[in-house]
Amino acid sequence: MAAIHPVLLCGGSGTRLWPLSRKSYPKQFAALLGGESLFQASAKRLSGPIFSAPVVVTADAFRFIAAEQLAEAGIAPAALLIEPEGRDTAAAILAATLHVAAGDPEALLLVAPSDHVIPEAPRFRDAVAAAVPAAQAGRIVTFGIAPDRPETGYGYLELQAPSEAEVAAPLPLVAFVEKPDADRAAAMVAGGRHLWNGGIFLFRADTMVAAAREHAPDLLAAVEAALAGARRDLGFCRLDPVAWAKAPSISIDYAVMEKAGNLSVMPYAGRWSDLGDWASVWRETEDEGAGGNALSGPATAIACEGTLLRAESPGQRVVGLGLTDIVAVAMPDAVLVAHKDRAQDVKAAVAALKAQGARQAETFPRDHRPWGWFESLAMGDRFQVKRIVVHPGAALSLQSHHHRSEHWIVVEGTARVTVGDEVRLVTENQSIYIPLGARHRMENPGKLPMVLIEVQTGPYLGEDDIVRYEDVYARQ
């Protein structure tokens, strides 16, 4: 069997898992269910003998996060395509398809969101393998998840007849069904002819290009132009922003799938979740032997039932007392408390915070950069204290500031520091002062992460007060 080219979509920034998922650091990169992120788990799931290296499509803001997490997972991507702006799934999928088709028009692609949970990876790979003959024959195969409850948050796929839990080959698709109300969802699940739409597709590259040419020619033309005008940027492929802007913002379901006549459905009866809200996280992590509670981090439940308690900072303690069906998620800068029945309405809370001008609505407390990350520990009118972690071998840009001076204290590792024309090593428990306006750079020459505390003082402490002179990451 020819190798399948996985396509991982990881450019979205949902709000229903706020405060853990935010615009600046969305859920696919978070370790929601363990030590690895959903993106890393997805990349590992779509690796092995039947798969080639993945093609990743992501946003500019997440390009270094995606590359870093793939490296941590030991996976080298075939390509990292950078979307100039979000245009929904149709444009992203076509960009990956055209990229792969340039090397082999008949190549098989498996497109998957990178924020889903599929615990039984071998079972899922078996379903993919069973769908390969249909895809090679020119079918577009979509994967339908066997529902275990009436769910109003998912779209559905209608089959001609009720199917067995496990089938040997894809089945005919009758129709896509929009997210139903509760009564219709219950009727569809009881009837046995409907599966959840998992948003996962297997197809031959030329099959998808032909379908797009027939049903979405303007979209295809815009994506072709964006790929033709793409430029290399370090290890990334930046799609042309002018051509990309002409691509309609539309999902692949609306643009192609609901119009194409060559679709089949591969049922999948294993566990699956899109982790679309905190109620779904609770379902994946509840401990039935402990009152159905789901605890994460330093959290304690006392006389609670069906409750999710989550603390994201080691210095926090979240305690639930006498709670039933409650979600409580504590971040260092924001706390969510909600009833599980309102889990899909968390985006309303985010909208309210945005209207108030609160940075917590979209900005994650830990700011990830290509060289590492930093977080603010304390802030006043004319000062800010940060913790900064620099990866081994990484370096910040050569820069200066118009409005602030800085004092650096190394607490772990060794820093190579440039201030003006002077370069020196600053080891653990040593410090150095960066005067206002001085050109400076920080590097980690060691093999372990370097940690320092930065104290900023000045009338303006915003992250836009940076003048870059040299940057190994080619940031503008």
Residues 6+ apart with CB under 8 A from 290: 301
The arrangement of secondary structure in 4-268, i.e. its CATH architecture, is: Alpha-Beta Complex (3.90)
Q: Tell me the CA distances in angstroms from 440 to 66, 328, 392, 443, 450, one per residue in order.
A: 28, 42, 19, 10, 17
Percentage of the chain lying above the pLDDT 70 cut: 99
* Domain positions in the chain: 4-268, 278-355, 366-470
Mean pLDDT, residues 54-67: 93
Count CB atoms within 10 A of the CB of residue 150.
16
Q: What is the pLDDT of residues 369-400, one digit of tens each?
A: 889 999 999 999 999 999 999 999 999 999 99
Q: Please tell me the predicted confidence (pLDDT) of residue 335.
A: 96
Mean pLDDT of the chain, nearest integer: 93
Q: For 365, which DSSP code?
A: S
Q: Please tell me the predicted confidence (pLDDT) of residue 165.
A: 67
pLDDT band of 197, cuts 50, 70, 90: very high
Dihedral-angle region of residue 89 (phi above 0 means left; psi in -120 to 50 means alpha; beta otherwise): alpha
Range with the lowest mean pLDDT among 53-57, 222-226, 231-235, 410-414?
Answer: 231-235
Q: What is the pLDDT of residues 302-358, one digit of tens each?
A: 999 999 999 998 889 999 999 999 999 999 999 999 999 999 899 999 999 999 999
Q: What is the pLDDT of residues 315-328, one digit of tens each?
A: 899 999 999 999 99
Q: Tell me the CA distances in angstroms from 183 to 89, 144, 148, 186, 225, one per residue in order.
A: 29, 21, 15, 5, 45
Q: Please tell me the predicted confidence (pLDDT) of residue 473.
A: 83
Count CB atoms within 10 A of the CB of residue 232.
8
Give Cα 67 distance to the centre of its chain.
Answer: 12
Report which of 7, 208, 250, 254 is spatially closest to residue 110, judged by C-alpha positions: 7
Q: Please tell me the predicted confidence (pLDDT) of residue 1.
A: 62
Q: How many helices and strands (H and E) does the chain possess?
A: 11, 28
Q: Decide if pLDDT at 17 tops 70.
A: yes
Percentage of the chain lying above the pLDDT 90 cut: 82
Q: What is the pLDDT of residues 131-163, one digit of tens each?
A: 999 999 999 999 999 998 998 888 999 998 887
User: What is the edge-to-edge ordering of all strands in the sheet holding 450-457?
Assistant: 366-369, 372-379, 383-390, 450-457, 405-412, 431-434
Q: Please tell me the predicted confidence (pLDDT) of residue 106.
A: 96
Phi, psi dihedral angles at 390 (to 5 degrees): -115, 130
The arrangement of secondary structure in 366-470, i.e. its CATH architecture, is: Sandwich (2.60)
Mean pLDDT, residues 86-101: 96
Residue 301 pairs in a beta bridge with 320
